[in-house]
Amino acid sequence: MGRPIRSEQFDAGEVCVVHTTQRCVRKAFLTGRDDRTGIDYSFRREWIRRRMEALASVFGIDVLTYAIMSNHLHVILRNRPDVVAEWSDEEVALRWLRVFPGRRLDEQLAEPTDNDVKSLAADAERLSIVRRRLSDISWFMRALSEPIARLANKQDECTGRFWEGRFRAQRIVDEAGLLACAMYVDLNPVRAALADSPDRSVYTSAYDRIQAERGEQIPSAAFDLVSVSSDQAGKHLRETSVADRKQQRRAKRRNPTGKQILRDSWLAPLTKSERKLADDPEVHRQGVRASDKGFLGLDWQQYLTLLQWTAEQRSKGQIAKMPEELRGILGELGIEASMWRDLVWDYKRYFGRSACAGSPHAMSADAQRSGKHHRSGQRLVRECFSVTAG
């Protein structure tokens, strides 16, 4: 059975949450330690994390959770056309040119000038296409995957594919599905026996949030959303050599804005705000992410407690009693507390072949939206939800 077409799963003009997975070619250990050759490629995980952080600062897309593994990565994204609609034409043009500067800029400055920005902003037809792409998950994944592949191939002195092919996408259709998927992603290193707890699971969103709570700061990888004047650009080209410009560009890539941020600042806030109106896009104004809108109806401490409890339930036959507070959280979402461990640890059993993830009722509604009778796994997942939840 072939993968569903992208248009059935998400639309750049519609706010939706999507779980994406991208695998290295032949499932090789191209971002971890290769046991066969003994070569350690773990440093490439930071390449991927920093690239995601940089893209989060320019795209109208929220990064909710992520995990970078030895041979694949998981990212849960929420596209935000409502945020992009708040940006001026000049801001849209500048953001686009930061990611896709074009050959002329890339070979010389890689810094969009005022004239470059004004020229793109004045092209109404082209700008309309660009504005839509800035909230398109496919373009976000393209901007993430292609540079990493080029860097890795250059380092390995080879050509060919780094990634297996197009990324796998799964639409998350309700908060129950989002909570289960978020914890499945955050616990990937624990499931793979690469870490024994979330606070040791480096290169996951859970680790970033835990370290940020402890006050850890990192150099920001966010793009500098300021253009240079044409006069400055011309002077720079006249007075500096090609070698010097390349060196300056490499230095700026390490910390484009010169700012230090908390480790999780580029990720979407976890908790939904009750103070905001439902239709308020909560646009972020500090230049490190698209918006300040949360995505779950529980606070960070509740999420962390549930995450830690779930991480400890490695053996299906030795499940500890769940605290009442956590049972109440799951109950509000219609999830049977006794099945929570299975829903997360066996996530692929329930949702691995499905185009969406969520409660049975929400999966049924998504199937109807796409003109289908049902979704794969829809009947099986009923055992994890109460009768009233569908």
Residues 6+ apart with CB under 8 A from 100: 143
DSSP one-letter string for 34-95: -TTT--B-TTHHHHHHHHHHHHHTTSSEEEEEEEE-SSEEEEEEEE-HHHHTTS-HHHHHHH
3-state secondary structure of 26: helix
Residue 390, pLDDT > 60, answer no
Mean pLDDT of the 111-115 span: 86
Please tell me the predicted confidence (pLDDT) of residue 106.
45
Percent pLDDT > 90 in the chain is 66
Phi then psi for residue 163, to 5 deg, are -100, 150
The type of residue at 156 is D
- Binned at pLDDT 50, 70 and 90, residue 205 comes out as very high
- Contact call for residues 179 and 351 (beta carbons, < 8 A): no
- Contact call for residues 205 and 66 (beta carbons, < 8 A): yes
Residue 142 CA to residue 83 CA, distance in Å, equals 20
**Which element (helix H / strand E) includes 149?**
helix 137-156
Please tell me the predicted confidence (pLDDT) of residue 6.
72
Please tell me the predicted confidence (pLDDT) of residue 338.
94
- Contact call for residues 85 and 294 (beta carbons, < 8 A): no
Q: Which residues pair with 75 in a beta bridge?
A: 20, 66
- Contact call for residues 186 and 205 (beta carbons, < 8 A): yes
Please tell me the predicted confidence (pLDDT) of residue 32.
79
Residue 337 CA to residue 359 CA, distance in Å, equals 14
- Contact call for residues 238 and 279 (beta carbons, < 8 A): no
3-state secondary structure of 195: coil
Of 342, 335, 347, nearest to 377 (Cα)? 347
Mean pLDDT of the 177-185 span: 98
Q: How many CB atoms lie within 10 A of CB 104?
A: 10
Residue 288, pLDDT > 70, answer yes
Residue 147 CA to residue 24 CA, distance in Å, equals 14
Q: Is 10 left (phi over 0), alpha (psi -120 to 50) or beta?
A: beta
Tell me the CA distances in angstroms from 350 to 18, 305, 344, one per residue in order.
Answer: 17, 24, 9
Kindly provide the b/e burial profile for residues 65-83, where b requires at least 16 CB atoms within 10 angstroms of the residue's own CB.
bbbbbbbbbbbbbbbbbbb
Please tell me the predicted confidence (pLDDT) of residue 334.
96
Please, what is the average pLDDT of the chain?
89
Residue 204 CA to residue 73 CA, distance in Å, equals 10
The type of residue at 116 is D
* More confidently predicted of 161 and 256: 161
- Binned at pLDDT 50, 70 and 90, residue 50 comes out as very high
Phi then psi for residue 218, to 5 deg, are -135, 155
Mean pLDDT of the 21-49 span: 84
Residue 169 CA to residue 9 CA, distance in Å, equals 8
- Binned at pLDDT 50, 70 and 90, residue 369 comes out as confident
Residue 171, pLDDT > 60, answer yes
The type of residue at 270 is L
Token pair recorded at residue 289 = 């992410």
Token pair recorded at residue 290 = 């698209």
CATH architecture of 6-80+135-222+257-382: 2-Layer Sandwich (3.30)
